Amino acid sequence: QPVGIIHTSIGGTRAEAWGPRGMYDAQPEAKGWQEKEDKGVADRVAKAKTDPKTQVVWSNGPHMNWNGMVAPLVGYSFKGALWYQGESNHGTEDYTALFAQLYKAWKEDLPNLTYIVVVQIRPGCAGPDHAKLRDEIRRLEYQYPDVIVHSANALPAHDGCHYGGGGYTELSKQLFSIYKLNELSMRPGIIRTAPTVRQITPVNDRTVRVLFDRADGLHMTSDVLVADKVRSSRDAWFANGDGLLH
């Protein structure tokens, strides 16, 4: 059975760029975004008249990538979507609220979507609020019955910030496996495979109990070299020696 994939992505972009105009009007933190972006575009257009190297459209502006890469596809019958994004939203903003707006827009304009695969970013170079962002992504599958969260933690060839070709090749195989399970296996409902933390309970001042969903797919890593530094099995939990788990 042929599988058609339409690639719509730009590296290093924020979630806000992938929703339609006006999508964030109700978000307090988005106040003035549209006016600021409209003025920014007008200023760049004016500058481009004397400096042809000026980039007229900024790919991180609200709705910019939606306009150029998603809106032209509205009306097509898409069954699934792959969403691998997050590092550029690693600040204090509420990613849960941002994704809720995206989800609403996607379901309205692409009504045949039956599932959305969200890749949970792994710890890397996204700043101090990375753990908060990763946890907000983890929770999405408990908030939306048609969202499949797939962890990118165990992929090979990570350099501390990005994956090499081997890592993305392995991820593509895993995502294709998700497609086969949900489209070709004839099993009812949404099928998820990646292990995820359901609950963490303190046992005492040194121990916590971690409850996983789909724990049969969980593997502890051995000590390995990552970016010329030894990463131990302890570090595979990414607690960094902090006794407080959030």
Task: Convert the pLDDT of each residue in 12-56 to its tens digit.
Answer: 888 888 888 777 666 666 667 677 777 877 888 888 888 877 766
What's the first-to-final CA gap in the chain, in angstroms? Answer: 44
Global confidence as pTM: 0.79
Q: Which tens digit of pLDDT belongs to each residue from 105-157? A: 899 988 899 999 999 988 777 666 788 888 899 999 999 999 999 988 778 88
Does the pLDDT value for residue 243 go beyond 70? no
Alpha-carbon span 30 to 36, nearest angstrom: 10
At 224 the pLDDT is 59
Does the pLDDT value for residue 95 go beyond 60? yes
Cβ neighbourhood burial of 233 (10 Å; 0-12, 13-18, 19+): exposed
Output DSSP code: residue 88. G
The rounded percent of the chain whose pLDDT value lies above 90 is 16
CB 151 within 8 Å of CB 196: yes
Does the pLDDT value for residue 238 go beyond 60? no
At 244 the pLDDT is 39
Q: Which tens digit of pLDDT belongs to each residue from 162-192? A: 888 988 999 999 999 999 888 887 788 889 8
Beta-strand ranges (E) seen in the chain are 80-83, 115-120, 147-151, 196-202, 208-213, 224-226, 229-231
**Residue 241: pLDDT band by 50, 70, 90 thresholds?**
very low
